[in-house]
Amino acid sequence: MEQHPLLELFYKKDYRTFKKKSEQYVPADIAELMEELSPKDTLLFFRLLPKDTAVEVFSFLPSKIQSELSGQINEKELEQLMEDLYLDDKIDLLEEVPAHIVKRILSNTPDRERHVINQFLAYPDYSAGSLMTIEYVDLKKKMTVEEALNYIRKTCLSKETIYTLYVVDANRKLEGILSLRELLVADDEETIENIMTREYISVSTHEDQEDIATVFKKYDFLALPVTDKETRLVGIITIDDIVDVIEEENTEDFHKMGALQKPTAEYLTASVPILARQRITWLLVLMISATFTGNIIRHFEDILQTIVLLAAFIPMLMDTGGNAGAQSSTLIIRGMALGEIQMKDVFRVIRKELMVSLMVGIGLAVLNFLRIAYLEGYPTDIAFIVSVTLLATVMMAKIIGGILPIVAKKVDVDPAIMASPLITTIVDALSLIIYFNFASFLLGFNG
């Protein structure tokens, strides 16, 4: 792999050219480069960047490196850095760094801002309050378009987004919103009052980030106002943070559906004990559940002893049941996450899964019968027992896989829990009960 020109200059210690060249690169790319450096090099590299670039690069760094850097740079550098960070980035940083750095940062922060920061830090994780920024443009409804434009042109350097404008009254109650586009196309003499939209959508500070993401997806917003109980404007949430939220929520669902507990770090940086802890709980729970399935087999020891080849079909029945259930639960869990399937649809889901599973189950059962009886030459009664059990297993798996995620939501459990691992364990047990009972009955055994 070729080395990045900036890294090359850095390692060649040609710091003068490095400084000059670094302005030509996009901050996000420079931040990515820095992740490959040793901790010692990171500090030197960062100090070599022109000040403006450094601030931007800093905001793109992973919180671990941000936190390390904040501990290493001196008081003055930290102060400068903090001054130029957007408030929401600063708060993210404060949530990551050790207590003594928090203290250092806050002691360099003006009183008024410190008060705001403390308020932010008190909002629960994953709430609108913890996602929002207070850097937005607020207008008064009596302003004219020209006044508003001049106001924006004078102040917008420090605002995270200027593309949606918020009209508030003297008590900071949100009266309306308008987009910068609407402002630009309006006549200079028009008043804000006449062009703002009074019907806006807002969220409260305690709203969950997943619900906020749903609002953004539905309305194609760039930003969304956050209000308190008295509908006073307290902040805004911007689309770039929501894109991160969407990926976070998806990762959480993937992990839950893969029988993993919430991770605390990225895979490659997480320690072995942390990765082990993330996995063992579910493995243990499911292992113990699976021993019940084993007990079912033990219960039917007699028939199995006489007709050992019944055991040969256990893996196929278990795997197909598990996969059939996983398909249905995946569809339902994902459909619910996207808001396409609601709780009221439970009967439509049951009806659909019944029909689909009948169709799929009969197809598989017939093929299976032909294969066992004719291709592999087993006795037809065995082929019949296996195939009927297969049909029953597929139907059961699909209906359970379809219902359980909806039931989970109803009792306020995350539907993603009801995915393949759990469904498989449940279906396995039921499938074997049907299999051995049916075999005992047809072959004249008493289980």
199 part of the interface to a second copy, by CB under 8 A: yes
Smaller CB separation from a second copy, 63 or 295: 295
- Cβ neighbours around 368 below 10 Å, total: 20
Place of tokens 């996602």: 131
The stretch among 74-82, 94-102, 122-130, 296-304 that binds a second copy (CB under 8 A) is 296-304
257 part of the interface to a second copy, by CB under 8 A: yes
Quote the least distance from Cβ 260 to a second copy, whole Å.
Answer: 5
Which of 43, 48, 121, 286 is in the footprint of a second copy by CB under 8 A?
Answer: 286
Which of 63, 107, 118, 295 is in the footprint of a second copy by CB under 8 A?
Answer: 295
Instruction: Name the pairing type of β-strands 174-179 and 203-204.
Output: unpaired
Smaller CB separation from a second copy, 94 or 296: 296
Which of 99, 189, 219, 230 is in the footprint of a second copy by CB under 8 A?
Answer: 219
> Looking only at residues 318 through 357 of this chain, which bind a second copy when binding is defined by CB under 8 A?
318-320, 322-324, 326-327, 329-335, 338, 340-341, 345, 348-349, 352, 355-356
- Helix (H) or strand (E) segment spanning residue 413: none
Quote the least distance from Cβ 134 to a second copy, whole Å.
Answer: 18
Quote the least distance from Cβ 355 to a second copy, whole Å.
Answer: 4
Report in angstroms the alpha-carbon separations of 70 from 29, 88, 93, 97, 100.
20, 16, 9, 8, 11
Quote the least distance from Cβ 383 to a second copy, whole Å.
Answer: 12
Smaller CB separation from a second copy, 127 or 368: 368
Angle between helices 63-72 and 99-107 (to 10 degrees): 70
Smaller CB separation from a second copy, 74 or 305: 305
253 part of the interface to a second copy, by CB under 8 A: yes
> Looking only at residues 107 through 166 of this chain, which bind a second copy when binding is defined by CB under 8 A?
149, 152-153, 156-157, 162-163
Instruction: Name the pairing type of β-strands 233-238 and 223-227.
Output: antiparallel
Quote the least distance from Cβ 342 to a second copy, whole Å.
Answer: 9
Smaller CB separation from a second copy, 77 or 208: 208
The stretch among 67-75, 76-84, 120-128, 214-222 that binds a second copy (CB under 8 A) is 214-222
